[in-house]
Amino acid sequence: MIDTSMYKDDPGYNIQELLDKPYDPELADREYDPAKPMAGRLTDQGPPHYEQFFPEVIKKNYGKWLTHEILQSGVIKYTSETGDVMWVVRCATPRLITTNLLREIADIADKFCEGHCRWTTRNSLEWHVTDEGTLKDLIEFLNNYKHPGGSYKLPIGGTGAGITNIVHTQGWIHCHTPATDASGMVKSVMDDMFEYWHSHKLPAKLRISMACCLNMCGAVHCSDIALLGIHRKPPFVEDDRITGVCEVPLAIAACPTAAIKPAKITLPDGKEVKSVRVNEPRCMFCGNCYTMCPAMPLADEEGDGVAILAGGKISNRITKPSFSKLIVPYLPNELPRFDSVCRVVRQIVEAYEKGANKYERLGDWATRVGWERFFEQCNLPFTDKSIDDYRLAYDTYHTTTQFKWSSHTDKLMKEAGY
């Protein structure tokens, strides 16, 4: 029985009664009467409680796990204070998958895991087993479970001192403001970095995230390496459409930098319409205006591309959490394999593998050797675009004479006449 003491702040809510009741997937269809849609209406019921779907070993040992041990990349052993043991096998999956693959995953779960599996927050898939025989059978099955071309369908890995699955946004498949593709870039980078997925060759874990625009719903602001789609040109205003498809005041209010102002425009046919104009120096290319107004498209084949950031983390282990820093301001969208992006990511990863101490995250390594030398060791050029000029970013400025010089800074000082 699961400890329900965490719910004591609401004495009228009996979570145990809910958990003891089997999940009924047909409840809504059975209770709903199309002829009387309001009769017996259930409101604010939300999704089923996640604890209803726990495997029995997790229900029994919830909050009682003592240790976890990584036996090999992608295989973790959990030991409970009750003496129970559970093994977890982690596999890579794409964020967007077909219903056919979902059915295949369900069949694997039925065969080896009593119908249970779970997805992690980074889109990896985890299987739970309670005996070593089943564990060996599952690993053997997954290692032989391949596409017709011979590549792994569900490759095991993503734990410990390696690269985890890349969390990413929708990209061109679904989002309306992307500057690049998400799924294609992630596939290309992980194909190139696959040796680090199923090994523990790195000094510490390495998180890579990808967001297809500046709105950054892919957590790229705090990742070891971040891939960010960027627009470089302001939105194009379609004066002949804007009054028919947009509410101009909403488009103006949507701009976070107040770069949009109303304007009266005369069309080629002599008709005067209410439109807007964009103050280009103030535009930050976020796409909020296009969200509110489809007559202000932002996508541009020449202007759109990818920026690469590095050094962020959420963990407070050893050092405090930190934001990612801009490393490469722009790379072109090179479809279909994003060769330049893959090359830069590999340069950073290999330099980190070679230069960092054990347990040192990428940002901690860069801070120790100096960000100036980080660029040198990664064989990347330092440009003025990497200098933080945000007006409230005082804590990121150099405030000491303890400056770590490099050939890059020497070159910039010489060009500046010093």
Q: From the CA atom positions of the chain, what is the Rg in Å?
A: 26
* Cα 228 to Cα 329: distance, rounded to the nearest angstrom: 10
* Residue written as token pair 């029994």: 60
Residue 161 is predicted with a pLDDT of 96
Average of per-residue pLDDT across 110-132: 94
Q: How far apart are CA 166 and CA 341, in angstroms?
A: 14
User: Which residues make beta-bridge pairs with 70?
Assistant: 76
Phi, psi of 349 (to 5 degrees): -65, -45
* pLDDT at residue 207 tops 90: yes
Token code pair at residue 305: 């591309």
Contacts of 146 (CB under 8 A, 6+ apart): 152, 153
Using pLDDT thresholds of 50, 70 and 90, give the confidence band for residue 74.
Answer: very high
Task: Supply the DSSP string of 208-259, one letter for each residue.
Answer: EEEESSTT-TT-GGGSSEEEEEE--SPPPP-HHHHHHH--HHHHHHT-TT--
| pLDDT higher than threshold 80 for residue 409 | no
Quick one: pLDDT at residue 370? 87
Euclidean distance between CA atoms 130 and 141, whole angstroms: 17
How far apart CA 86 and CA 141 sit, in angstroms, is: 19
Tell the residue number behind the tokens 């796990």, with chain if given.
Answer: 65
> What whole-number distance in Å separates Cα of residue 374 and Cα of residue 266?
53
266-313 pLDDT per residue, tens: 999 999 999 999 999 999 998 999 999 999 999 999 999 999 999 999
- 12-42 pLDDT, tens digit per residue, is 556 667 667 777 778 777 777 888 887 767 6
DSSP H or E segment with residue 351: helix 339-355
Question: pLDDT category, 199, cuts 50, 70, 90?
Answer: very high
Antiparallel, parallel or unpaired: β 118-119 and 85-92:
unpaired
Beta bridge partners of 210: 168, 227
What's the mean pLDDT in 50-69? 90
What is the pTM assigned to this prediction?
0.85
Angle formed at CA 187 by CA 94 and CA 115, multiple of 5 degrees: 20
Strand order in the sheet with 305-310: 167-168, 208-211, 225-230, 305-310, 325-332
| pLDDT at residue 385, rounded to an integer | 85
Report pLDDT for 6. Answer: 52
C-alpha 371/C-alpha 22 separation (Å) is 55
Encode pLDDT of 187-198 as tens digits. Answer: 999 999 999 999
Helical axes 339-355 vs 362-369, angle rounded to 10°: 70
